[in-house]
Chains A and B, each alone.
Chain A
Amino acid sequence: MFKRTVLLVLVLIAVVQSIYEDQIGLYDWHQRYVGAVEHRIADSRAIVVITKKNILAALHPKTGAIMWRRKFNEEDTVTVDPVICGEEVVTYHSTNRYRHWDILTGMLTLDTPHHEEDGLLFYASLSYEKMIRVTRNNVYWGKNDNIGSSPIDISPSMKLAGFMRSGSKVEGFLFDPSTAQGVSIKYDANHDTVQVAEAALPSTTQGIKLVTSEDSIAGLQGDSVFYKTIGEDSFLEVKLSDIGITWSVDSISAAGKSAYIVSGKQMSAVIAVMDGAMRAVKAISKDVIGQVVGSDHIALVSRADHTVSLVQLSNGFEAHSYSLGELAEGRGGVLSMTTLTASHPCSLMTTVRVPGLFLTWKDQSVTVVGSNETCGWIREESLSSVVSATLLDLPASSFIPVSLHRHTNPIKLWTERITMQLQDLQKFINLYFGTALIDVSPEMERDSFNLNKLIFAISTCGKVHVLHSGTARIIWSRYLDNIAPLSNGQYQVHMIRSASHYPLPALVAVLGTSLDSKKAVLTVLNPLDGSLQYRQEFESKLAQIQLTAVEDNEFAKVMLILTDDNEVHTYPPRLHKLVEHLPLYFTLVYPDQMELKGFFLKGTRVEETWSAHLRGDKILDVKSKATNDAVYSQGRVLGDRSVLHKYINPNVMAVAVESGTGDKVLVDVQLYDMISGTQLYHARHKQYSGPVHLLVVENWLLYHIWCSKLRRYEVVVVEFFLPSAPNTTEFSSLFPRTPSFSIQQAYIATSPLSAVAVTTTLKSITNRAVLFAESGGRIALVPKALLDPRRPTIPTAEDRQEQLVPYTPQLALAPMSYVTYNKTLQDITGMVTGVTGLESTSLLFAYGTDLYFARVTPAKTFDMLNEDFDYYLIGLVLLGLCFATIVTQALAENKALNKKWK
């Protein structure tokens, strides 16, 4: 019996969604990212990066493609730059371990704990086969395991200031800022000797900040620079005014291989240690970063005008200079620079052969540039931290409006329409006769089934990307300066006006927080070309947004912005009178006070109508219904032909609250009516805890929860029904007529989730399916029929007629139910679903470290012919039938004639 039900379940899943092996990548795409680069080391074989996402990855130096990437768990971060030693990349972890990775494949070759408790001071690679690790008690050298060691004793008050490297020598410098005492640990690889020497700084230099630049160390104190090169026993002092720097400077930064940049408020200067003495090389403008390339040059990148210049260190002569141009636009400026080895193809084509530059930008993107911008690559790593996304329709016509000016004169309007239509006709002719006279981009045009969309995605750093869902190409991107996510870690993105109101531009509103003032910021963009349409900063923080169905006289939906001083603003601005007659309600969640509050719009302000205290310690999740979701059927037909009426309340909000700890932990899941504040449902789960993922759709509530008692994840489904047929189809929260009742059931889930979503289709006729993004990186499509609270343990004849699947405690998922098939998405954080012109098909966009887009068909493509449909055969059969008709007609006529002759 059990086996049979399992079989039945599997068969049922198989009906839902599954693709053929030859359809890989046909309707879906997957983009892999690594995150914002924190540590980097470049080699001719790979650029090894460690990112904010705690990922170690190797990027191909020529193409920027990910060669391999490995993710570390949260408590296992890499805090220091990795080191390349021979064929291996060595990383040192916060868990006091070393890991050696093959540089080409990413295979783990050695995983070993660090021997000493107090951790590592520094480590460096010297020759091809030699590594040195220095702790307070020992210096180790050798490659994989320690070949040799030498005991040393360094007092704990000494802090590492940096280490220097030159040829076979490594020297670490430790410094006690309070006493200005310093100590050098010197290691010579040729003889494997370790020497510890005192190297004090003058007592006036207490608190000096030292920076190391490959083979020297320097610090700035007042107008003097103290420096020491590798091997030297003591620090030297040089007054900046003595070397020609007359203006005041306040900081010093390393620029690689004995070069430094001292910068002041107006100007900066490159200084370098040459022949044992510090000299000024060149005075430069402020906000410039530099890196020594080759033996005698320094590459300088200006953050202000994005020019790269190559300066000879010995004489300060500018050898080469070029502008980064378009590449630098909208990236918020360069953060850091690393040089690639000279054999790199992007080496600057100058008289001196010097390497290409690996740049990281403020918008998290990374680039490699050579002598011109065509040589190199860009990785838009901000796409690895997308926090909010929405799917937008493409315009019905790709005609790009020339004038955005709207005429009131009917004759002008008429002529504009005629010219537009003429241009459309011309475009049509061009398309079919192959002479592209005007720029036609069919990519920006809606396809016949509206399957292709624009993905509007915004990242934590404030970078907006718009991608084409079919080609995965970035249409445009824009760095919104001075913006951060809202308090929930996301932005609010709303479509104000669609692209179908030519010549008015389409509008998308983005709400975030200002970085400076922490107040709400509204930015309105045109999603087709990225142009900024409107920007407004409010006086207080954002509380909530509500998009009304009311449109102004320019077809823009009126959006209400409630700030936390109870003031309501509108976009387009000052349109309160359009909405003041409407019954508009707001519900706010106060996580600190554990309270829910309902408000009612009155004029330009809101008034509190209800409040509810949530018992517990922590709000785990809050979800309300999607506003644009269609409900197709008002009821469910049962096996005995009676109807179970759904309780469809558009104003519900689910809240999950956790309270207690240890064995007393419990989770309350509650459903509130947002208008009246009525509690519609309450379930208390004892010995359950978060994380909880909620989903509220149509008449059902679904949540995924951790059962700490039985150590397993569970999915609970609750459906709400009415005991009798409702009198009207119109729902009112204020005058509830009949109380609803609920049916619930729980299932065992095998994996924790990182996100949950539901498929949406045009008319919601297609059965819904729930998308579970598992923490392992797969996305499962589970039909609602499996998550039905009415699944019977022992099915009766009526149940069978209703096609209810018998109950099984565990939610068994077949491999075919994974929409991501054999792809693993790194750290999914959210999913967005969208409708298409086809009732059967729903779109899925998942984001996290990776991006994934796919079409999902919860009930197979019932409204589309199979792609292997034989058009020729059916054409041939039709033709044959026609032919047969004509022949038999002639024959019949003959026969009839013959009969008459008889």
Chain B
Amino acid sequence: MFWSVLFGFIAIWYDVILASESAYDIRGQIAISNDPGWQTRTLISANFGEYHGYAQQNGSFVIPNVKPGSYIVEVLNPNYIIAPVRVEISSKASGRIRARKVDYVQPNEVMLVKYPLTFRVADRTNFFEKRETWHITDVFSSPMVPMLLLPVFFMLVLPKIKDMQDPETKKELEDASKMMSNPQMPDMSDMLTSLLGGTKKPKKIASSKIRR
């Protein structure tokens, strides 16, 4: 009992002494795979440049001499956009450090993360748009292609299957094909003739059509 009280007193005294002066280190570890030499391109910043830390070969970093308060710790690397972490250094609990997720929308919601901090990044952030390339599989994946192929299938294949079985349908089809070659239907070549060959200077008209 006595010891705990004494200890408590010592703790309070310690806080009072150190609260204004003391500074602490924020520590952490970064792991970036498949980017050799990333350490030299990486800067760890607390509160957007108020304090800096630098990564060592093994990925560990220290932001030294940080006064108690709340800090956004970011890992800045040109190739990666890495989510920051909020680090809070308590001025009362003799520099106890806790880390939590950054939530700007609901700043009061606390979701603690591990401290010492760990940043693990695998894939490079894609800053670029993908250039469209043509590939044969694109044709099949397009919804337009089956939509086109299906009618063709019905037109060409289905009649063949049918007329093998039934003479009546064969007759029907013949009628249908007669209908198709309806004399009243305008002939394609006739149309072209009337369009292009009707006047004396067909060439000019033709070229103007193309231009359009």
Main secondary structure of the interface of B (DSSP, over half): mixed
Over the window 862-902 of chain A, the binary record of Cβ atoms lying under 8 Å from chain B Cβ atoms (1 yes, 0 no) is 00000010000000001001100110110111011000000
Closest chain A residue to B127, Cβ basis: A821
List of B residues within 8 angstroms of A886 by Cβ: 206
| A window 517-559: CB within 8 A of B | none
Over the window 96-107 of chain A, the binary record of Cβ atoms lying under 8 Å from chain B Cβ atoms (1 yes, 0 no) is 010100000111
Count how many pairs of residues, one from A and one from B, have CB atoms less than 8 Å apart in the complex: 125
List of A residues within 8 angstroms of B74 by Cβ: 776
Q: Which of A99, A109, A748, A888 is the one whose CB lies under 8 Å from B57?
A: A109
| CB-based contact A885/B76 at 8 Å | no
| CB-based contact A107/B39 at 8 Å | yes
| CB-based contact A815/B125 at 8 Å | yes
Q: Which of B49, B51, B131, B197 is the one whose CB lies under 8 Å from A892?
A: B197
Over the window 773-794 of chain A, the binary record of Cβ atoms lying under 8 Å from chain B Cβ atoms (1 yes, 0 no) is 0011100000000000000000
Q: Which of A105, A777, A888 is the one whose CB lies under 8 Å from B40?
A: A105
Over the window 40-72 of chain B, the binary record of Cβ atoms lying under 8 Å from chain A Cβ atoms (1 yes, 0 no) is 100101001111101111000010110000100
Q: Which of B54, B131, B193, B206 is the one whose CB lies under 8 Å from A885?
A: B206
CA distance A821 to B56 in the complex (A): 25
CA distance A19 to B192 in the complex (A): 47
Over the window 144-160 of chain B, the binary record of Cβ atoms lying under 8 Å from chain A Cβ atoms (1 yes, 0 no) is 00000000000000000
Given A108-B54, A108-B55, A711-B107, 10 other A-B contacts at CB below 8 A? A20-B131, A21-B131, A73-B49, A73-B51, A108-B39, A748-B105, A824-B76, A878-B210, A881-B210, A895-B193
List of B residues within 8 angstroms of A810 by Cβ: 104-105
| B window 185-199: CB within 8 A of A | 189-190, 192-193, 196-197
Once A712-B104, A750-B104 are accepted as A-B contacts, the answer to whether A20 and B56 lie under 8 Å apart by CB is no
Provide 26 A-B residue pairs closer than 8 Å at the C-beta atoms, listed in order of the A residue. Answer: A18-B127, A19-B128, A20-B130, A21-B131, A71-B52, A73-B45, A73-B51, A97-B65, A99-B54, A105-B37, A108-B39, A108-B54, A712-B107, A748-B105, A752-B48, A815-B125, A816-B128, A818-B127, A821-B127, A821-B128, A822-B79, A885-B210, A889-B202, A889-B206, A895-B190, A896-B193
Q: How far is the CB of B105 from chain A (nearest CB, A)?
A: 5
Q: Does A72 contact B (CB under 8 A)?
A: yes
CA distance A815 to B78 in the complex (A): 11
Once A810-B105, A815-B125, A821-B127 are accepted as A-B contacts, the answer to whether A775 and B49 lie under 8 Å apart by CB is yes
| CB-based contact A892/B125 at 8 Å | no
Tell which of B74, B124, B129, B130 has the most Cβ of chain A within 10 Å: B129
| CB-based contact B57/A107 at 8 Å | yes
CA distance A26 to B204 in the complex (A): 44
Chain A residues proximal to chain B, CB less than 8 Å: 14, 18-22, 68, 70-74, 76, 95, 97, 99, 105-109, 111, 113, 710-712, 748, 750-752, 775-777, 809-810, 815-816, 818, 821-824, 868, 878, 881-882, 885-886, 888-889, 891-893, 895-896
List of B residues within 8 angstroms of A20 by Cβ: 128-131
Q: Which of B62, B196, B209 is the one whose CB lies under 8 Å from A111?
A: B62
| CB-based contact B127/A815 at 8 Å | yes
CA distance A712 to B126 in the complex (A): 26
CA distance A73 to B202 in the complex (A): 79
Q: How far is the CB of B211 from chain A (nearest CB, A)?
A: 10
Over the window 99-135 of chain B, the binary record of Cβ atoms lying under 8 Å from chain A Cβ atoms (1 yes, 0 no) is 0000011010000000000000000111111110000
List of A residues within 8 angstroms of B129 by Cβ: 14, 18-20, 816
CA distance A882 to B197 in the complex (A): 16
CA distance A586 to B202 in the complex (A): 70
Q: How far is the CB of A68 from chain B (nearest CB, A)?
A: 6
CA distance A751 to B57 in the complex (A): 28
Once A111-B62, A896-B193 are accepted as A-B contacts, the answer to whether A106 and B40 lie under 8 Å apart by CB is yes
| B window 18-35: CB within 8 A of A | none
Q: How far is the CB of B18 from chain A (nearest CB, A)?
A: 15
CA distance A350 to B179 in the complex (A): 104
| CB-based contact A816/B127 at 8 Å | yes
Q: Does B207 contact A (CB under 8 A)?
A: yes
CA distance A105 to B39 in the complex (A): 10
Q: Does B96 contact A (CB under 8 A)?
A: no
List of B residues within 8 angstroms of A809 by Cβ: 105
CA distance A818 to B79 in the complex (A): 12
List of A residues within 8 angstroms of B162 by Cβ: none
Q: Does B203 contact A (CB under 8 A)?
A: yes
List of A residues within 8 angstroms of B56 by Cβ: 107-109, 111
| CB-based contact A892/B196 at 8 Å | yes
Q: Which of B40, B52, B65 is the one whose CB lies under 8 Å from A68?
A: B40
Q: How far is the CB of A745 from chain B (nearest CB, A)?
A: 15
